[in-house]
Chains A and B, each alone.
Chain A
Amino acid sequence: GENVEQHPSTLSVQEGDSAVIKCTYSDSASNYFPWYKQELGKGPQLIIDIRSNVGEKKDQRIAVTLNKTAKHFSLHITETQPEDSAVYFCAASKQTGFQKLVFGTGTRLLVSP
């Protein structure tokens, strides 16, 4: 089955810096890769996703890149703000058949003012 590894487990940056979180997946058939942000005591919220037919997707300060050959994808946050502090999860699934998302173990991002 699919296995998703996520690094780093914690990431501390200064406000205004960029943050990068990386994930690798094992199943070459996976082709849907969402990213979720989870604030303390709350449910995860989708912030961006990418499908295998594109290599990069941007939404304001957030971007995701996908390298299908290497089987890894990354989340990039530019001009970080204290409100970006949260746990971020990557996930992978196939677009055919049942939607079984396999999650990474999460990255705790701390943005210091």
Chain B
Amino acid sequence: DGGITQSPKYLFRKEGQNVTLSCEQNLNHDAMYWYRQDPGQGLRLIYYSQIVNDFQKGDIAEGYSVSREKKESFPLTVTSAQKNPTAFYLCASSLQGAGGNTIYFGEGSWLTVV
């Protein structure tokens, strides 16, 4: 089946640790995105990539890093510099990065700091 796969579903991070969330898509989409979701708030854009080997900061990029070495993969690293990382993280993709293209979401990853 075509879609977006995020892993792991649940992840626990100790203080001072970096963790990486995986996102893979087999939709042959050029554009990929990472959003963060907190209770009572809308989705906020962390990073996006319109094409392989290129990515841009979104609205809340501090404390996060990404890479886009392959078209189908867009991993997100939550670094120790992110002071409040506990949240629900959503990976998404669209055929192109241009406006008006439908954005499809993965099932999300829960990150908790312990």
Contact = CB atoms under 8 A, between A and B. Distances in A.
B108 A41 contact: yes
A35 B22 CA distance: 26
Interface of A: 4, 6, 9, 31-32, 34, 36, 41-46, 49, 51, 89, 91, 93-106
Interface string B93-110: 010111111111111100
Interface of B: 4, 31, 40-45, 48, 50, 56, 58, 90, 92, 94, 96-108
Pick the most buried of B42, B96, B108: most chain A CB atoms within 10 A of its CB: B42
Given A43-B90, A89-B43, A95-B98, A101 B103 contact: yes
Contacts of A97: 98-99
A106 B41 CA distance: 7
B104 to A, nearest CB: 7
